[in-house]
Structures are given as C-alpha cells and as structure tokens.
Chains A and B, each alone.
Chain A
Amino acid sequence: MADYTGVDFMRLDDTQFSEEERVVRDSVRDWVSKEFLPRLQEHVRKDGSFPMELVPQIAELGMFGANLEGYGCAGMNNVAYGLMMQELERGDSGLRSFASVQGSLCMYPIHTYGSEAQRERWLPGMAAGETIGCFGLTEPDFGSFVTGMATRAVRKGDGWVLNGTKRWITNGTLAQLAIIWAKDEEGQVRGFVVETDRPGFEARDIKGKFSLRASVTSELFLQDVEIPDENRLAGVEGLRGPLGCLTQARYGISWGAIGAAMGCYDEALEYSKERIVQGGPLASKQLTQQKLVFMLTEITKAQLLALQLGRLKDAGRYDHTMVSMAKRNNVDIALQIAREARDLLGANGIVDDYTAMRHMVNLETVRTYEGTHDVHMLILGEHITGMRAI
C-alpha cells in the first residue's frame, strides 16, 4: 500500500520513541515501500525465491546484525532494531526472516560465542551481505524437541567430522556459511561454522510451500564433512548455544509480527471505507467496526508489550520467558488480524494485489518456527508453576 504511515493509537511516537528510533523506522519503512514491495509479487509467485538483488541495499542500509557492535555492524539499540524488524515484516515475513537469520541466528553466535579471530574473519563480510549464513538446528525428526538431534560431530585429528541432516533451513541453498549444531561423542551440543562449499555438504530447496514463498527454505545434508577445530564456536556448549540465538531472533519476531498486523489493519481499514455494500461503506457496519476495533486494540497491546521488552533488553533486565510471551502473543494476534483483514476484503482478499492473505499464510510459518505457539505456552507454564510439562 502506497499510503502507509503506520499505526500509532497510543502516541508512542512522540512519547516513547527517541528521534533516532523514529528516523530508523521511517528510513526502513520508506525503503520497504519504494524498493522492496514493488518487487515482491514476482517472487511470491515463484515458489521459494528471495529478491537477492536487494541484498547489497539491505547491507548498505546496515540491516544485517544491526544491533551488534563493531565489525561493520550498526550497533543500534534493541528498540530501534525492533522497529526495523517491524518495518521489514510489514513488507513480508520472508524479508524479516532473511534479516533475522543473518543477524540473530548467524552473526549473533559468531559475535557471542566465537573467538576474536572468528569475528574478524566472518562478521564484516556478513554485515556487508557478501557472505550469507544459514542456521541448521531443526532436523527431519526433531523440531520442537531439538535435544533429540541426530547430527553428530566426531573428533578426527585436530578437527571434526560432521554427519547428519538438517531440514527447514532458511537460506540453505543461498548460504556460504552454515551454523551447524551437532552432538559430540559425549552427547554435548556444539556449534560449528561450516563453509557450504566443503566436500560432503549439500543443500536442496523445499518446494511447494504455501507460506513464506518469498524466502528460500532448504534441507542440508552433511556427509563426512571435515572441518578444522578453528571453525568450532568454542564459547558455548550445550543447548544454551542455539537457544541463546533463538531468544535473539524471537525478540525480533515479536516486533516483526506487529508490522504484518499493522499492514493488514491499514489495508482493511482503507478498503472498508471505500467498499460500498448495501448502500453504504463496509466500514459503517457494526460487524466491520467490531473487527477493526479488535485489530487496533490488539496491535496497540502488542506494541506496548514489545516496547517494554525492548527497553528491558537494552537495560539488560529481560529474560527468555518474557520473549516467549511477546513472540507467542504478538504472532498470535497478528495471525488473527490477518485472517480478519482477509475476511473484510472479501474475494479481493484472496488475490496477491492485496497483502492480507500473504501475511496470513506467512504468519502460519511464524507461528510454527522459532518455538511453536504451544511450546512457548509450555515454557511460560513451567516458568510460572515450576512444573515442566514439555
């Protein structure tokens, strides 16, 4: 939608966001409207393709690893970063996923668990968009229950040999680097940076997706892939490693989902004011107003939740259970809003000239990945009762 200026019912703009945060948001919003959205339809129609020609621009704007310090990263605070994610997902969940995977799932572990030499070796190229990463945690048989992972890392001389299959891996066939999580001989989870051109590494795309079509999702096959020990992320052992990355990405999603919801609400509101049914605008009907009020109220609550989480994260006072609540709630309401918006658009709602249905089917993925809706409930349930139900 060309005439998009955001949704700000509670006036967060002049009361809560700093000037820097607003400038970041508006710059990304403008870029999404002018550069990304005009190219999107073509990629959505082609199953599993991302507008790679925009990667240099995304990097130039500083959107890869934007909340990390140094190594060519922008070093923004977490609220500005969240607003960036919100605007990217207003464009498409595939665009936000691209930035999440590169920044939170690939650059973050190198930045946090890697050595200085590893940071210097990989991060500048990743910030510049010259090296694309992918994050291999999920396996065909182990999704929510990643502890069961079957991928193995066995010591050989000074290095390691990796064997296993990773599935549902965003950007798998586009990546030059894969962060692979595998168990060693003692059953300990370890992280490795695997160059995708190593012998024995193969990636194949998963086709036939209804959701996240403007994003590449792949399967990775590792057969006797040999890597030197200098590619191991030595700063972390155990599930803490991948989960730490997921907390970062889930934080971004809790903002991103709001962007998708804001886009759907804006579209539904404009449409219902123009669309005449039974002699009057659709927006003049009580049932429509009920839907629109629901959308605006839920968007506003989600904005406040994400904002408070962001401020706590910047102050170093958040924890992963808060992220679970924000991811779970915000994706859930975004999906409900997208469905309501699709409904209000009638038949027009099912074609790709409008955004609601695209957001709706995208959000089905977002509800599943990065901890499913139910898994986050179980995490919160355990947190408040002290009793593990997972």
Chain B
Amino acid sequence: MTPDSRQSLVSLSGVAKTYGSGTLALEGVSTEIARGSFVSLVGPSGCGKSTLLRIIAGLIEPSAGKISWPLNGGARPADIGFVFQDATLMPWARVFENVYLPLKLKGVSRKDAEARVGEALQRVGLSDFAAAYPRELSGGMKMRVSIARALVTEPPVLLMDEPFAALDEFTREKLDDDLLELWRGQNWTVIFVTHSVYESVYLSERVLVMGARPGRVLQDIHIDAPFPRGRAFRESTGYVARCAEVSAALREGAEA
C-alpha cells in the first residue's frame, strides 16, 4: 500500500445511506480520493456502488456521515461528468442533441458546440450516428452516446457507473485505453464502477472492494503498475496476481 501524496479531492467519513423503503444501502464508508487519481469500485450487485456514486455526485444526501471537498473550500466542484448505469438518453432527441445537452444547459451556442460534440462522438466511434434517434441504436451504442455526453464538457471529475458493461470485449478494451489516455492527458479524477475484476485492475490506481448487507468498503487495494498500461500489462503475471487478489477480497466479502 503506497500512501497517496496528492491532495485529497473528496473525503468521505462514516457515510451511510438508508433509503426511504428502509434498505440500509451503505454503512460506515470512509475514504479519501486524491485529485487526479483513478479509483474503481467493485462489489456484488446491490452492495451500494451506484448509491455511493450518487452521493459523491450530490444527487442524494447521505443519511449519516460527511462528505467534503477540501480542495474546493468544502464545496462540490461545479463540473462533474456522470455516466449512469443505463444510458439515460432523451428519446425524443437525436444523438447530436443528447451529447450537446450539457453544453446547451451551460449556455454554449450550437455553433460553438458543434466541434466539441463531433469530437466526443468520434471518441466513442459514433460520428456517423449524430442524426440517429436513440431508438435506432443498439444497447452498447446508446451507452457510448451517454459516455460521449459525459466527456463533452471535459469534466475534471468523472463518475462512471458500469459504463462499458454492455459492450463487447474489443470495444471495451479500446474504450478502456481511450479513457486512460484522457485521464492521463487531462489530469482528471475518475471514479469508476465495474463488475469486472479484470477491468478494475487494468484501469485503476486503487480498487475499492465493496461488500453487501450492509454496503461497505472491505478492502482498499493499490495497483501500483506504471502507466501507460497496455497489452503487455494485461498479459503480465503482476496483472494476474492483482486480479486474483481482488477476486479473493470479493469472495471473502461474500462468505463473511
């Protein structure tokens, strides 16, 4: 475990969430996430990963505990990109309009936005579908539109909830690499939820392994392989060992 020398961007202490229905979705989550870091959350279905991400985004309030943003004088940064677990597109709007939305809401004119929207669509390989309606896209394509929408504002903080789960292995690996490149190039902070142990190890500097009932962080595993990572890392013994470590932590959580 190497302690992070970077400044802490967001700090959670004893965060818990009980939903109105009485479900205890999270309990006692305390962690720090450094600015510029890439952190993954893995855990069984229903362990509160989406809930934690929503709390960090400020979409729901924790029912106990504190979340603070020390770098920003305690306030949440205004520009947070969020990719929902399902694509969450506006069905009545074409792909272009969907990706343009964040800029539109910030008052950027269509003309000024065109190039940036085009670039975001190109990143996810959907340049040819700008005029299509979401209905006309496959599940994975919809998800990619949703990723393009999150990227279009170039947010310094990017929260992604299983963004690549619906994609084929090949596209997923390509987007993994694209994401890593963006993250390194732009000095973003990425918090990434995934079900895939392999993906979490490949992408992250840190993997937070979560357990269910109640949802909590079981282990905080540092992946200290250097970036850029590529094919070679994916096939290295170090990678396999890390994956085994994360899997073991998950299993432990399931048996506990």
Query: Do the two chains belong together in a single complex?
Result: no
The interface of chain A, by Cβ under 8 A from chain B, is none
